[in-house]
Amino acid sequence: MGEFDLIKRYFSRPARRAVLGVGDDCALLAPTPGMQLAVSSDMLVEGRHFLSTVSPVLLGHKALAVNLSDLAACGAEPRAFMLSLALPRADEAWLAGFSQGLWALADTFGCELIGGDTTQGPLNISITVIGDVPTGQALLRSGAQVGDDIYVSGTLGDARVALEVFRGNMSVSESVFLSTRSRMEQPTPRIDLGVALRGLATSAADISDGFLGDLGHILQASQVGADIETALALPLLACASHLHLPQARQLELILSGGDDYELVFTAPAQCRAQVVAAGLASHTPITRIGAVREGQGVQLRDAAGQPMAHQFKSFDHFA
Ligand code: ADP
Ligand code: MG
């Protein structure tokens, strides 16, 4: 199968909202009046971001999910995406599975594939997503204010548990392995929550490299610090009740686990009821775990409000 047959068979569909999709030198999109485009890219490299053993269907899902997660963090709705693939060979079983996972998630969010690039090489998947958001309403990292509450969606740390099991560093029951593995391999982009937080959250980011690091990006951009109440954060590790881990280890998984693809966001303390309503409207669990303060960096606090020392770090490819 040649390059163009491959694209035609697995990655072409008639354009829907796009003016022109796959097949020409450029795709064409008509901007919607009153909206701004939100654009983001994420690359997945074998051995770095995924294990060679992962099922192609799940990989197709995850490659798009991690990109949609960035749109969610901006409060944007998905419109279209570009797919750039380096493949060692044209393996039809792999392509069928990968495209199946990709199309399923794309259809869930009405996000159409409008083009890309395909070359031979070590397996590498790069996606660029394009979304839109009403002009001026994108959620940025730079808007957190002193006194705001800090929230996270969903659960944190479970994906990391699965990774540690794969690495041979932890052992868990079969059922815990299945549930944590699905958190690692099938993240849920929080698009509906991002949309519900427009005009309400003062800042937001998605949690890809670990909560502390991604909250740290918000704090730096907003030039503020944060207090995190560990007693409020501990319940976020969904599998905790099935494991026998010291609290410090649970906290490490929650605060610097990575691969969660949840949202961390801030909102004014007087808007708590509206944040609860946004969670309900988007069918997304939300937990308040701290507050923005003056200064810089994250201070962890114990149940008595006392500062706690810690050395948790988030993932950095070059650290
Ligand atoms: P060019 O040589 O002009 O860069 P290509 O030959 O790379 O064009 O691609 C031909 C068409 O197929 C283009 O419309 C391109 O966007 C699309 N395409 C290439 N690879 C992919 C892919 N992996 N997924 C979707 N569309 C793709
Ligand atoms: Mg090309």
- Tell me if 317 is assigned to some domain: no
* pTM of the predicted structure, to 2 decimals: 0.95
Nearest residue to 264 (alpha-carbon basis) of 310, 184, 313, 209: 209
Mutate to test the pocket of ligand 1, among 4, 7, 12, 85 (most ligand atoms within 8 A of CB): 7
Tell me how many domains the chain contains. Answer: 2
- Verify that 91 and 159 share a domain, yes or no: no
Calculate the dihedral angle through the C-alpha atoms of 48, 52, 58, 59, rounding to the nearest 10 degrees.
50
Q: Which domain range does residue 236 map to?
A: 149-308
What pLDDT sits at residue 279?
Answer: 98
Distance 7 CA to ligand 1 centre (A): 7
pLDDT at 105: 98
Give the residue ranges of the chain where pLDDT is below 50. none
> How far, in Å, from the CA of 123 to the mean position of ligand 1?
17
Same structural domain, 217 and 277: yes
Q: Tell me the ligand closest to 9's alpha carbon.
A: 1
Ranges assigned E (strand) in the chain: 35-45, 77-87, 112-120, 124-134, 149-153, 203-207, 225-229, 262-267, 286-293, 297-301, 307-308
User: From the CA of 90, which ligand is nearest?
Assistant: 1
Answer with the one of 111, 134, 157 that is the final residue of a domain.
134
Q: Answer whether residue 139 is part of any domain.
A: no
Q: Is residue 130 part of a domain?
A: yes
Residue 172 lies in a domain: yes
Total count of residues recorded for the chain: 319
Q: Which two tokens stand for residue 168?
A: 């041979």
Ligand 1, atom 8: nearest CA belongs to which residue? 25
Residue 156 lies in a domain: yes
Give the residue carrying structure tokens 């909202």. Answer: 17
Judge if 33 and 159 occupy the same domain: no
- Given the CA of residue 26, which atom of ligand 1 is nearest to it? 14
Atom number, ligand 1, closest to the C-alpha of residue 85: 23
* pLDDT score, position 312: 80
Same domain, 157 and 120: no
User: Cβ distance 239 to 183 under 8 Å?
Assistant: no
Query: Residue 261 in contact with residue 188, Cβ under 8 Å?
Result: yes
Tell me which residues have their CB closer than 6 angstroms to ligand 1. Answer: 7, 11, 22-25, 83, 85, 113, 115-118
163 and 280 together in one domain: yes
Which among 31, 232, 222 has a CA at the least distance from the CA of 140?
Answer: 222
Q: What is the pLDDT of residue 238?
A: 94
**Residue 273 placed within a domain:** yes
Residue 25 CA: which ligand 1 atom is closest? Answer: 3
Q: Could you tell me if residue 154 is inside a domain?
A: yes
Rg (CA), the chain: 20
Where residue 25 sits, what CATH number does that domain have?
Answer: 3.30.1330.10
- Ligand lying nearest the CA atom of residue 4: 1
- Predicted confidence at residue 295, as pLDDT, reads 97
What pLDDT score does 310 carry? 80
CATH code where residue 197 lies: 3.90.650.10
Last residue of a domain, one of 81, 99, 134: 134
Q: Is residue 319 part of a domain?
A: no
